Chain A
Amino acid sequence: MHELGIVFHIIDTVEKVGAENALTSVSSVTMEVGEVSAVISSYLQDCWQWAVKRSDLLNGAKLIIETMPARTVCNHCKKTYGTVAYGRICPFCESADTVLLTGNEISIKEIETPD
């Protein structure tokens, strides 16, 4: 359910970028969403459809979601592995001393404008 809050933050940021670049319309927003970011893409799309109608700049804009793979490094054996398959326990040495390298990002990559 925090997808709606995230959508509001996306719209705020894009409206700021729009004002800085004197844009009147945005046709799409591309997001980079990590595999373990706790954001569900379909919910994000649903919230987006509802919320963009309330923005003059973004009305009708498409939301494009690029999924970013999650990788974790083990501090004990120094190997990296896919987070989704193995979680926080290293599959090589079974250490729990692991750090997520990528995969929790929720970032706005770029916007497209007809202006």
Chain B
Amino acid sequence: MDQLRIIEVKQSVFANNDAEAARIKKQLKVNKTFLLNLMAGPGAGKTTTLLRTIGLLKDRLRIGVMEADIDSAVDAELVQTTGVKTIQLHTGGMCHLDAGMTEQGLMELGIEDIDLAVLENVGNLVCPAEFDTGAVKNVAILSVPEGHDKPLKYPLMFEVCHALIINKIDVLPYFDFDMDKVVEYAHMRNPKLTIFPVSAKTGEGMEAWAEWLKKEVIDWNS
């Protein structure tokens, strides 16, 4: 048998992705565009929260939305009704977006005239947390029916996020969801996490979240 030669690589699988993400972030800064990476499990209310957020901010910020899903365009069609620029990205079976896919999405969306670009990531609490997309801020949504133990079960998601939206507080009376516990568990994983309890359906708590986001966008773009 022929002699095999060994070449040492010693490189994290995420090294290329992280380098790409850093490049995207730099370009966003030059462009004065803020990229929000919105992550959550399926059904936590990402699209409903986004629709309500757009309603509160679209008069003050120029918004663009990238809807990422494994398949279909139902979310993009819904977001398009708000009148903001929207595109649908298909991940072709993959459970997350990486930096390369995000960059393609930003090019397709066109960010020259966008203050706030929102990436609605694939519904999943595990995989999107692993891949830096180049976003300025990562935000997770956890909904009341999912349970207050999720920060313990999916720690990485809560570690990589800057803010956490607790959605569907209008149904709190019907679930054994402990608001104090979820705050305690989330801060255990990430003491700097800013938490917004909201109901995207009724609008309760949404102003505080929208104000936080607006301030972050203005700080980044100025």
Q: Point out residues on A near B: beta carbons under 8 Å.
A: 1-2, 4-6, 9-10, 12-14, 16-17, 21, 23, 27-28, 31, 38, 88, 96, 105-115
Contact among A9, A16, A110 with B17 in the assembled complex (CB-CB below 8 Å): A9
Stretch touching chain A among B61-69, B78-86, B93-101, B141-149? B93-101
- Point out the residues of chain A lying under 8 angstroms from B17, CB to CB: 9
Contact among A2, A5, A23, A108 with B9 in the assembled complex (CB-CB below 8 Å): A108
B15 within 8 A of A: yes
Residue-wise, chain B 31-53 has the 8 Å CB interface mask toward A (1 for contact) of 00000000000000000000000
Can you report 6 residue pairs joining A to B where beta carbons are below 8 Å apart? A2-B96, A9-B14, A17-B7, A17-B9, A107-B13, A112-B4
B5 within 8 A of A: yes
| A4 B94 Cβ-Cβ under 8 A | yes
B10 within 8 A of A: yes
The answer to whether A21 and B14 touch (CB under 8 A), given A1-B127, A5-B98, is no
| A5 B131 Cβ-Cβ under 8 A | yes
Q: Taking CB as reference atom, which chain A residue is nearest B154?
A: A38
B188 within 8 A of A: yes
The answer to whether A108 and B11 touch (CB under 8 A), given A1-B95, A4-B94, A115-B5, is yes
- Point out the residues of chain B lying under 8 angstroms from A6, CB to CB: 13
Q: Find residues 129-144 in chain B having any chain A CB closer than 8 Å to their own CB.
A: 130-131
Count of chain B residues with a beta carbon within 8 Å of a chain A beta carbon: 29
| A13 B13 Cβ-Cβ under 8 A | yes
B219 within 8 A of A: no
The answer to whether A112 and B11 touch (CB under 8 A), given A9-B17, A12-B16, A96-B188, is no
| B14 A110 Cβ-Cβ under 8 A | no
The answer to whether A2 and B126 touch (CB under 8 A), given A106-B12, A108-B10, A108-B13, is yes
| B13 A111 Cβ-Cβ under 8 A | no
CA distance A42 to B8 in the complex (A): 24
| A13 B2 Cβ-Cβ under 8 A | no
| A113 B9 Cβ-Cβ under 8 A | no
CA distance A6 to B126 in the complex (A): 13
CA distance A33 to B188 in the complex (A): 26
Contact among A10, A28, A38, A88 with B130 in the assembled complex (CB-CB below 8 Å): A38
- Point out the residues of chain B lying under 8 angstroms from A5, CB to CB: 94-96, 98, 127, 131
B10 smallest CB distance to A (angstroms): 7
| B9 A109 Cβ-Cβ under 8 A | yes
CA distance A107 to B4 in the complex (A): 21
A13 smallest CB distance to B (angstroms): 6
B118 smallest CB distance to A (angstroms): 21
| B126 A27 Cβ-Cβ under 8 A | no
The answer to whether A114 and B2 touch (CB under 8 A), given A9-B14, A12-B16, A13-B9, is yes
